Amino acid sequence: MSKPGDIKEIVEGISPVDQEWISKAQARTAQLLMPTRALGRLHEISERLCGIQKTLKPSIDKKGILIMAGDHGIVAEGVSAYPQEITGGMVQAFLAGGAGISAISSHVGAEVWVVDMGIIPEINPADMPNGERLRIKKIAAGTANFLKGPAMTKEQAEEALLTGFAQASELFENGIEILGTGDMGIGNTTPSAAIGAVVTGKSLEDMVGRGTGVDDDGLKQKIETIGKAIAVNQPDATDGLDVLAKVGGFEIGGIAGSILAAAYYGKPVVIDGFISTAGALIACTLCPTVKEYCFSGHCSEEQGHKLMLDHLGLKPILNLGMRLGEGTGGAMAMSVIEGAAKMFKEVLTFEEAGIPGKE
Amino acid sequence: MSKPGDIKEIVEGISPVDQEWISKAQARTAQLLMPTRALGRLHEISERLCGIQKTLKPSIDKKGILIMAGDHGIVAEGVSAYPQEITGGMVQAFLAGGAGISAISSHVGAEVWVVDMGIIPEINPADMPNGERLRIKKIAAGTANFLKGPAMTKEQAEEALLTGFAQASELFENGIEILGTGDMGIGNTTPSAAIGAVVTGKSLEDMVGRGTGVDDDGLKQKIETIGKAIAVNQPDATDGLDVLAKVGGFEIGGIAGSILAAAYYGKPVVIDGFISTAGALIACTLCPTVKEYCFSGHCSEEQGHKLMLDHLGLKPILNLGMRLGEGTGGAMAMSVIEGAAKMFKEVLTFEEAGIPGKE
């Protein structure tokens, strides 16, 4: 496909999912060797894959998880229970193996790539195990503290989106059939909650949660901080780029860009948890058609996540009280999505099996 | 292990899950390279596997699905939307491949065995593809119509339990590390709802659902039929064998026996949907400790299923609107259980990864 030069060209290049292929898939589902639609959501999932891939033989053999990492100036306000150094440490763990996403992606047969969208430490892929899976695309060494002005400039926000788009595009061009989004960034439930509140219009009390585990005082402070930041920055809820620039993060912009790439290339994308869904909100504000390509991997324990998903009209596949990020919930859900695809391809119809159907 | 001769010896041979190993596993979870218990239910699942297997290296590589098949005299009362011939036809499809369970078990790496616990047609494994995976253990050619008296004799009920126990025992002795229950039997949501109502004490209006798809009149008739059958038979809710004999089914007895075998051999067992959970209710009435070995694979669309699970104190892993049976929901959930086991084994602690923890 031709490479789009800017966000406008990306949005113009995104088409709705093919309803004819979905109808063809539904017609086959109705004939399958089981009571009508007896596998519930596995049918919906497999039919949407058929629509996205324009086929009755959906395949998601080649799975990729793209983890976007970034640091956050707002951490200076004490919004996280963990020190900021962890962001860089975890990037190394993703490459070395031994993190949550390492185990779950290996279980489901997905490969993991990591993009430094703007973490504070300088890291060198050549010094790392599996360094070829790390891309250094730093927009800056962490965002600015958005309590005192925008987290980034408009130019940086656009750069974050285009970088995420380019990184995911490379995976699709190399044969990845389904993308899982992932994030790492100490403090990033704070910009995500800010984006969630601005885009959905829900209250901060409903949207803001404990992240990695702040206590009651910490939660109160987090809500106050986000409230002040929104008042200071006045983000325009209808303009994803403005919201991203004012109260977002580099990795959230990268995720939004990678989701836009999935829709642009006609590939399914599994949205992980709270931070990834904040990225999806940005992407869908820029182009609502994008959500036709999105599967919600799971519903996070972070309380605002369900409100974000409701706003997008996405129903999570798993609901296991997870709240880690890294792409773990989306990766785990890939196993269900792949099960649905195989079910669709491998189950016979009553006629093919030579068994009489419903009376 | 020594072979128990009767149900009393089976029950006496069942021990609670080892709490010390669960505590050891919880201690490791607390150190893992992530915020405290950030993977939610994956932690509970992995820790219980550690307790069941008495290890910090839980493994469920070798997975088996044991499908129990039986026919039901109550079908004469018009309780099902499908003809009774389908039971035998589906048994052949399970062996030949092409059924729902064939695709999903293959996806998760589970092997499928089928036991003829009492279907009407005479079938010969030698005539079938993969016939070595079919065992003919017919108690009788279908149960009696329990609207007119007990579905089976007490001796047949005991034989069904012991047969299920023996079939599952053979799998465990051959190295199966986790068992999934499965069922096939046109009409079998009717005995399952009867068992559910008797054991949980819930109303038939709450417990009885549409099964493979009866309409409003069919549902009304199904509720009336079950109500009359319970009045005629007066099953003793505290005696699983009595409930099974009066309003049960041969495959439900087989499932209950296979669940008892899992607890007896100290193996995890994944309970599928409505019919399998009726089997679990019978097993847990005989020996409440059994439920410590049970994972609920999913919550079925069949409305009474949640009430059964609440009664057992089991929380389903998946909630995807499935209502097929065959073991499909349990098989799909095995992927999550295996993901949890691998996560527990492969994720490093903060110390092992050389990354500082929480402030």
CA A280 to chain centroid: 6
Give chain B positions within 8 Å (CB) of A100. Answer: 32-34, 38-39, 343, 347
- Show me where the domains of chain A are located: 7-58+343-353, 63-339
Residue to substitute from A318, A344, A359, interface B, most B β-carbons within 10 A:
A318
Question: What is the reported pTM?
Answer: 0.98
Smallest Cα–Cα separation from A242: which of A5, A7, A3?
Answer: A7
CA distance B274 to chain A (A): 13
Name the DSSP letter for residue B310: H
- For range B312-337, the mean pLDDT: 98
pLDDT per position as a tens digit, B238-273: 999 999 999 999 999 999 999 999 999 999 999 999
Selected catalytic residue, list A47, A177, A302, A326: A326
Give chain B positions within 8 Å (CB) of A356. Answer: 83, 85-86, 89
- Report CB contact under 8 Å: B98, A352: yes
The helix (run of H) or strand (run of E) holding residue B208 is none
What residues form DSSP beta bridges with B318?
B298
**Distance separating the N- and C-terminal Cα atoms of chain A:** 50
pLDDT per position as a tens digit, B22-58: 999 999 999 999 999 999 999 999 999 999 999 999 9
H helices then E strands: how many in chain B? 15, 6
Please give the structure tokens belonging to residue A343: 């079910």
Give the model's pLDDT for residue A5. 87
For B241-294, give the DSSP string: HHHHHHH--HHHHHHHHHHHHHHHHT--EEE-SHHHHHHHHHHHHH-GGGGGGE
ipTM over 0.85: yes
Burial class (CB in 10 A: 0-12, 13-18, 19+), B6: exposed
Of the candidates B85, B104, B320, the beta carbon closest to that of A40 is on B320
A83: nearest CA partner in chain B: B359
Smallest Cα–Cα separation from A120: which of A42, A187, A20, A213?
Answer: A187
Cβ atoms within 10 Å of B48's Cβ, excluding its own: 22
Give the model's pLDDT for residue A3. 85
A58 Rama sector, left if φ>0, alpha if ψ -120 to 50, beta otherwise: beta
B346 flagged as catalytic: no
Of the candidates B39, B42, B82, the beta carbon closest to that of A359 is on B82
Please give the structure tokens belonging to residue B157: 């009920």
- pLDDT of residue B1 exceeding 90: no
- pLDDT of residue B356 exceeding 90: no
Instruction: State what percent of residues in chain B have pLDDT above 70.
Output: 99
The answer to whether the CB of A86 falls within 8 A of the CB of B355 is: yes
Task: Give the Cα separation of B294 and A125 in Å (integer).
Answer: 45
- For range B296-322, the mean pLDDT: 97
3-class state of residue A110 by DSSP: strand
Q: What CATH class has A63-339? A: alpha beta
Smallest Cα–Cα separation from A193: which of A247, A235, A152?
Answer: A247
- For range B111-138, the mean pLDDT: 96
Q: What is the CATH number of domain A7-58+343-353?
A: 1.10.1610.10
Smallest Cα–Cα separation from A340: which of A262, A255, A270, A256?
Answer: A270
pLDDT per residue, tens digit, chain A (359 aa), is 678 989 999 999 999 999 999 999 999 999 999 999 999 999 999 999 999 999 999 999 999 999 999 999 999 999 898 999 999 999 999 999 999 999 999 999 999 999 999 999 999 999 999 999 999 999 999 999 999 999 999 999 999 999 999 999 999 999 999 999 999 999 999 999 999 999 999 999 999 999 888 999 999 999 999 999 999 999 999 999 999 999 999 999 999 999 999 999 999 999 999 999 999 999 999 999 999 999 999 999 999 999 999 999 999 999 999 999 999 999 999 999 999 999 999 999 999 999 887 64
Of the candidates A39, A40, A81, the beta carbon closest to that of B359 is on A81
- For range B9-29, the mean pLDDT: 98
- For range B228-232, the mean pLDDT: 98
Share in percent of chain B as helix, strand, coil (round to 5): 55, 10, 35
Share in percent of chain A as helix, strand, coil (round to 5): 55, 10, 35
- Report CB contact under 8 Å: B41, A321: yes
Instruction: State what percent of residues in chain B have pLDDT above 90.
Output: 95
Amino acid present at A350 = F
CA distance A239 to chain B (A): 32
A130 Rama sector, left if φ>0, alpha if ψ -120 to 50, beta otherwise: left
3-class state of residue B328 by DSSP: helix
For B65-78, give the DSSP string: EEEEEE--GGGGG-
Give chain A positions within 8 Å (CB) of B33. Answer: 90, 93, 98-100
- b/e per residue B198-208 (b: at least 16 CB within 10 A): bbbebebeebb
- Report CB contact under 8 Å: A319, B319: yes
Q: pLDDT grade, residue B358 (50/70/90)?
A: low
Of the candidates B33, B42, B86, the beta carbon closest to that of A320 is on B42
Task: Give the Cα separation of A180 and A104 in Å (integer).
Answer: 12
Task: Give the Cα separation of B54 and A129 in Å (integer).
Answer: 34
Task: Give the Cα separation of B198 and A188 in Å (integer).
Answer: 51
For A24-50, give the DSSP string: HHHHHHTTBSSSTTTTTHHHHHHHHHH
Asked if the domains B7-58+343-353 and B63-339 are classified in one and the same CATH topology, the answer is no
